[in-house]
Amino acid sequence: MKRKKHITLLLSGILLLSGVSGCRTTPVREEKKAAVPQFQVSEHTVGRRAGALHKVLAPMKIRGVGVSLSAYRAYKERTAEIVRLVKQLGFNRIYCAISSEAELSDELVSLVTAAADSGIPVELTVRQGDFKHRFRGNAFIRSILPQFRTLPDLAAEIVEFNAGLPENAKLAGVSVRFEPHLFTVANGADLIPGLHYIWSEHTFGLGMDNDNLVITSIKLLEKMKKNLRGIPLRIELPDFYPVWAREKKLSRGRVQDFSGFDGVIIQSSGNRPREAVRRLNAAAAGTRNNMAVIQLAGHTSVRDGALRRRDWNDFVRSAGFIVNSMRKMNCSGVVLRPLSELGFMLLEQD
């Protein structure tokens, strides 16, 4: 009798779980909302400052700015104003970050179409770490519970979203932040079912966990490219991966290892102009026509991973030095992010 009761409970559980099988919606990673500066300056000063940056960026073929859809959700009624600011600052492409397929929404359509009306294409930016399977329980439970979408799953939804856009407002592409180094014990997640590699400072070396994570990540991105059906896929590559590959800590990670994609955007982790250029140079060694993304620090005390600045003038000088150095490196474009930090600096008092 007891055995029959257990079987009944098990079957009831299976029926309940089967009712929620399929894919779950990836959670939206909320970004810090764009802040309003404490001090404001005159319209003349804003125009002068914007013109200075416009001039500095002009030598680059692609001049991109990063916008987080989550951070600007509260400003969706001001989309046209945001696009005008982007153009005034000298940018000719918007890199819009999304963290969930749920953000392939009317808000994104509004941004893409408004930008297209001003001659500015939009490229989506996603993080590898936002789109992975989150495993729970044993193999049986995992086979029933709905899983979150992976990058190849997302690609199919992007294709569908892009098909619904006006002909003059199709997406310029998709960029993926390559970040297997974040798949650590603390994050506790696998890239795809059946693989159990974990990134660690102690597992560098050919054929070891870190190397396997990099190889697996590239294969996953190749599947994503196939599912994008012709929409360009670019890889945002942190500047330390090419260095690790040259040091034989990894079998792949050089810019050349991503030649099967539609371009590489090297993510600089330097927090000072010369350091940023040195890292970009080391990462891009022997290659041409790469792009670079520069993360702007929100405070002068930031130690690494983002470019520090004192004020707008200091930032423009730094940007000028980086762009001139990139020209010598035969780079084709630069991306500055986030727009919210640029806006804050633009309106700060000297």
Render pLDDT for 21-65 as a digit per residue (tens, 0 to 9): 455 667 676 665 554 444 577 888 989 999 999 999 999 999 999
- Residue 346 is predicted with a pLDDT of 86
The pLDDT value recorded for residue 140 is 59
* Percent of the chain clearing pLDDT 90 (strictly above): 61
Which strand (E) or helix (H) includes residue 55?
helix 43-57
Query: How confident is the model at residue 89, as a pLDDT?
Result: 95
Token duo for residue 252? 């792949």
Torsion, CA 248, CA 252, CA 255, CA 261, rounded to 10: 180
CATH numeric code, 2-347: 3.20.20.70
Distance (Å, whole) CA 31 – CA 161 = 23
For residues 337 and 65, the answer to whether their CB atoms sit within 8 Å is yes
How many angstroms separate the CA atoms of 77 and 140, rounded?
A: 47
Question: Cβ atoms within 10 A of the Cβ of 31, count?
Answer: 16
The residue among 183 and 211 whose pLDDT is bigger is: 211
The per-residue pLDDT for 184 is 82
On the question of pLDDT at 193 being above 60, the answer is no
Q: In the prediction, which pLDDT does 349 show?
A: 76
| pLDDT of 183 above 70 | yes
Confidence of residue 12 (pLDDT cuts 50, 70, 90): very low
* Across 90-105, average pLDDT: 95
Q: What is the mean pLDDT of residues 180-206?
A: 75
- Please give the pLDDT value at position 340: 86
User: What is the reported pTM?
Assistant: 0.86
What's residue 43's pLDDT?
86
